[in-house]
């Protein structure tokens, strides 16, 4: 498998605060990789450096291809309210394609996400889940070599979230996109991923790079009750706790406590 993305020894510091420290990993062409980590550990910073929104303090990012699209959590701020749905999806193509081609590309992407009938509506006339589908269609219309998603389903209800997860898996299967998704939802990372990158607390370091050994075809009920799914979800949960805790040796700590206690008792 060729690598679509190579991240090598990437670090970023905001002023005094080190957000990410020495991250290295690759994403193969056609892979869907999930990134999980404690809140505030540096996941968005990682995506920002990969997308070029900010320059990393050190390390390198190399992308095999020149098209990159990002889907953010907050769809209400990422769509232009003064443009129709069709206009929003066409927007990133305005410089690269002629009008007729742009239209066709946007219509096609809207049909992939099941929104072929709402092209003339405005974002504010749609539900949250539909707006997020528009944001996904806009990213897909651009035919990105790499699709970056930062907690893309975090602000929709549970049922819509399941639908959007399946939609992502479907478009990815049918159109072969390479995707890197940040999520704080452990179950979602196992459900969606071919691999899961587990990050530690601030500064973010790579704690584990896990392969998800589940069939490509996933099902919201069957997959989530599958033994492999359940085992992997527990493993990620354990790793995340490990990532958050300061490095203490429990045995040593307990011995020290016992010693302190016996000294206190002797003193009395």
Ligand X SMILES: Nc1ncnc2c1ncn2[C@@H]1O[C@H](COP(=O)(O)OP(=O)(O)OP(=O)(O)O)[C@@H](O)[C@H]1O
Instruction: Give the footprint of Mg ion on this chain (CB under 5 A).
Output: 43-44
Question: Cβ closer to ligand X: 34 or 109?
Answer: 34
Contact 162, 170 (CB under 8 A): no
Residues 65-124, interacting with ligand X (CB under 6 A): none
Position among 9, 24, 40, 238 found at the interface with ligand X (CB under 6 A) = 40
Compute the least distance from the CB of residue 233 to Mg ion, in Å: 21
Q: What number of chain residues touch ligand X (CB under 6 A)?
A: 13
Compute the least distance from the CB of residue 242 to ligand X, in Å: 17
Compute the least distance from the CB of residue 121 to ligand X, in Å: 30
Question: Cβ closer to Mg ion: 140 or 199?
Answer: 199
Q: Is 53 an interacting residue with respect to ligand X (CB under 6 A)?
A: no
Question: For residue 262, is it left (φ>0), alpha (ψ between -120 and 50) or beta?
Answer: alpha
Which of the ranges 13-21, 125-133, 206-214, 226-234 carries the binding residues for ligand X, by CB under 6 A?
13-21
Question: Cβ closer to Mg ion: 44 or 57?
Answer: 44
Give me the 202-231 binding string for ligand X, x by CB under 6 A, dash otherwise.
Answer: x-----------------------------
Contacting positions for ligand X (CB under 6 A): 14, 17, 19, 37, 39-45, 184, 202
């Amino acid at each position: 498998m060729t690598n679509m993305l190579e991240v090598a020894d990437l670090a970023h510091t905001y002023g005094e605060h080190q957000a990410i420290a020495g991250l290295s990993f690759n994403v193969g062409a056609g892979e869907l990789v999930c990134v999980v980590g404690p809140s505030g550990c540096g996941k968005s910073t990682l995506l920002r450096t990969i997308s070029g929104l900010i320059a990393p303090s050190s390390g390198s990012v190399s992308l095999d291809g020149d098209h990159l699209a990002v889907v953010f959590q907050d769809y209400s701020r990422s769509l232009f309210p003064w443009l129709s749905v069709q206009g929003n999806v066409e927007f990133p193509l305005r410089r690269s394609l002629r009008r007729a081609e742009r239209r066709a590309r946007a219509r096609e992407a809207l049909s992939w996400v099941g929104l072929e009938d709402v092209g003339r509506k405005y974002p504010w006339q749609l539900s949250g889940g539909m707006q997020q589908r528009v944001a996904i269609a806009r990213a897909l219309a651009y035919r990105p070599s790499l699709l970056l998603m930062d907690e893309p389903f975090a602000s929709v209800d549970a049922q819509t979230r399941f639908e959007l997860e399946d939609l992502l898996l479907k478009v990815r299967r049918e159109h072969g996109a390479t995707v890197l998704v940040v999520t704080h939802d452990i179950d979602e990372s196992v459900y969606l991923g071919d691999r899961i990158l587990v990050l530690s607390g601030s500064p973010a370091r790579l704690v584990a790079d896990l392969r998800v050994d589940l069939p490509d075809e996933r099902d919201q009920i069957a997959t989530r009750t599958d033994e492999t799914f359940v085992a992997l979800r527990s493993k990620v949960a354990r790793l995340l706790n490990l990532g958050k805790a300061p490095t203490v040796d429990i045995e040593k700590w307990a011995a020290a406590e016992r010693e302190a206690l016996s000294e206190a008792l002797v003193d009395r």
